[in-house]
Amino acid sequence: MASAFSPIDGGSATSPGGFSAAAAHAGLKADGALDVALLVSATSCATAGAFTKNALRAAPVIYDAEMLADRPGRTRAVAMNARVANACTGAAGLEAARAMARAAEEAAGLPPHTALVLSTGVIGVPLPVEKVARGLREAAAKLSPTGGADAARAIMTTDTRPKHCAVRLETPTGPIIIGGMAKGAGMIHPDMATLLGVLTTDAVSEPGTLRPFWKRVVDRTFNAISVDGDTSTNDTALFLANGHAGIDPSRDGATWKLFEEAVTEVARTLALAIVEDGEGATKRLEIQIVGAQTEAHAREVGRAIARSTLVKTAIYGGDPNWGRVLAAAGVAGVSLIAERISLQAGTSNGWLTLASGGATALADPAQARAIFEQKAIRLRLDLGLGRAEAVVWTCDLSPDYVRINSDYTS
């Protein structure tokens, strides 16, 4: 069956109708690199946000969460900067986030309280509001429907490449475009890193519908990747729907389902790009958890495996040490019954059983090692407790990660 949606070559957050963007150099990064970006919608967007669970939320996170609680249907712009996270900056930081939003609104000629803000970079350093405002004015002067790629480049910190994409979904009443941009988290100069994701669509929606929809998508994409287990003070994923296409995909069940698949595809593409661009990462591990009682349980078990430094170092070394995978599953805080558990590894012609009944099986060692030496490794853990499942992705832990992360501030 042909897919109902298709990737757009070079697509970005400005691929959906009615969105424009631009970036500027505001003097935050060295060498004149783009460090400030502005994304603007021609009309008000219904917006949903997913924010860090870190108890110490950065000022832009606090600001955006309040905005989306108060006026989730009034978003017109997202202002972004790299290099300074505006985190652990106290009351002055919150005032700086407000000033950054106001600067974006003024620069783009928008009403007050219509801009959201995203910051990423070093923790604990004051945001240079004047520089950022100047950059936003410069960006506002050159907003373009092809500016999404520049915006994605501007929010890079130690990402080695910009991350953006878009898909086109055909519906019975016409096409809908979904676009997005993101930057990486952890294993990428992590104190300058944060997961930032902005998805856009020209579909019609409203905040009450978008909120649970976006939570489902984020749980299966941005929240299903783990790079080094650290949760940034700034992690944010936004979804803006401006209605430019005039089509509300929630009006019929089949279209709504396809729309969710298409949005998930964009978010997953960006999330996997983050995993693959992890600093020091040499391999990707996909962990499928099946047979769980709930999807949340499945995800927790997957995340526990993805967080384990013992699993990640074994993956780095190509070491078929699956006892570590079972041991890591046991720390997820989910009740398990050892006798019901089985673990398999993906091969080019099916699944190889590594353990069953909670006990390690004696798989062919050479075949097992060949699997663990692959660049992309797939494991499937069946908990034998139910029918829910989840997929989690991570990368390996290499000596480069340690070297890169052991000296930043100086």
**Assigned token pair, 398:** 């290499």
Angle between helices 59-70 and 90-107 (to 10 degrees): 60
Cα(217)–Cα(257) distance, integer angstroms: 12
Residue from 157, 194, 201, 233 carrying the catalytic annotation: 194
Nearer to its own copies by Cβ, of 166 and 195: the residue is: 195
Name residues whose C-beta falls within 8 Å of residue 1's C-beta, 6 or more positions apart in sequence. Answer: none
Q: Does 91 bind its own copies (CB under 8 A)?
A: yes
CB 100 to its own copies: min, Å: 17
User: Can you tell me whether residue 133 is helix, strand or coil?
Assistant: helix
Compute, in degrees rounded to 10, the torsion defined by CA atoms 373, 377, 382, 383.
90
Q: Which residues from 366-405 bind its own copies, rule CB under 8 A?
A: 369, 397-399, 401-403, 405
CB 51 to its own copies: min, Å: 12
Q: Does 322 bind its own copies (CB under 8 A)?
A: yes
Q: Which residues from 268-307 bind its own copies, rule CB under 8 A?
A: 307
Q: Which stretch binds its own copies (CB under 8 A): 67-75, 84-92, 264-272, 285-293?
A: 84-92
Q: Which residues from 161-220 bind its own copies, rule CB under 8 A?
A: 186, 190-191
Question: 190 with 169: CB under 8 angstroms?
Answer: no
Name residues whose C-beta falls within 8 Å of residue 197's C-beta, 6 or more positions apart in sequence. Answer: 180, 181, 182, 222, 236, 237, 238, 267, 270, 271
Q: Does 357 bind its own copies (CB under 8 A)?
A: yes
Question: 201 with 15: CB under 8 angstroms?
Answer: no
Nearer to its own copies by Cβ, of 335 and 349: the residue is: 335
Out of 358, 374, 378, 382, point to the residue binding its own copies (CB under 8 A). 358
Q: Which stretch binds its own copies (CB under 8 A): 22-30, 150-158, 254-262, 335-343?
A: 335-343
Q: Which stretch binds its own copies (CB under 8 A): 6-14, 88-96, 165-173, 267-275?
A: 88-96
Give the number of other CB atoms < 10 A from CB of residue 56. 10
Q: Which stretch binds its own copies (CB under 8 A): 107-115, 117-125, 169-177, 268-276?
A: 117-125
Cα(386)–Cα(37) distance, integer angstroms: 46
CB 84 to its own copies: min, Å: 11
Out of 331, 353, 376, 387, point to the residue binding its own copies (CB under 8 A). 331
The phi, psi pair for 117, rounded to 5°, reads -130, 145
Report CA 186 to chain centroid distance, whole Å. Answer: 12
Q: Which stretch binds its own copies (CB under 8 A): 51-59, 104-112, 256-264, 287-295?
A: 51-59
Nearer to its own copies by Cβ, of 136 and 328: the residue is: 328
The verdict on whether 120 is a catalytic residue reads no
Angle between helices 207-220 and 253-276 (to 10 degrees): 40
Burial of 339-368, coded b for 16+ CB within 10 Å and e otherwise, reads: eebbbbbbeeeeebebbbeeeeeebeeeeb
Question: 5 with 258: CB under 8 angstroms?
Answer: yes
Q: Does 228 bind its own copies (CB under 8 A)?
A: yes
CB 137 to its own copies: min, Å: 28
Nearer to its own copies by Cβ, of 231 and 264: the residue is: 231
Q: Does 318 bind its own copies (CB under 8 A)?
A: yes
Out of 23, 123, 182, 289, point to the residue binding its own copies (CB under 8 A). 123
Nearer to its own copies by Cβ, of 115 and 332: the residue is: 332
Q: Which residues from 238-267 bind its own copies, rule CB under 8 A?
A: none
* Cα dist from 323 to 289, 330, 394, whole Å: 16, 11, 18
Residues that are catalytic = 194
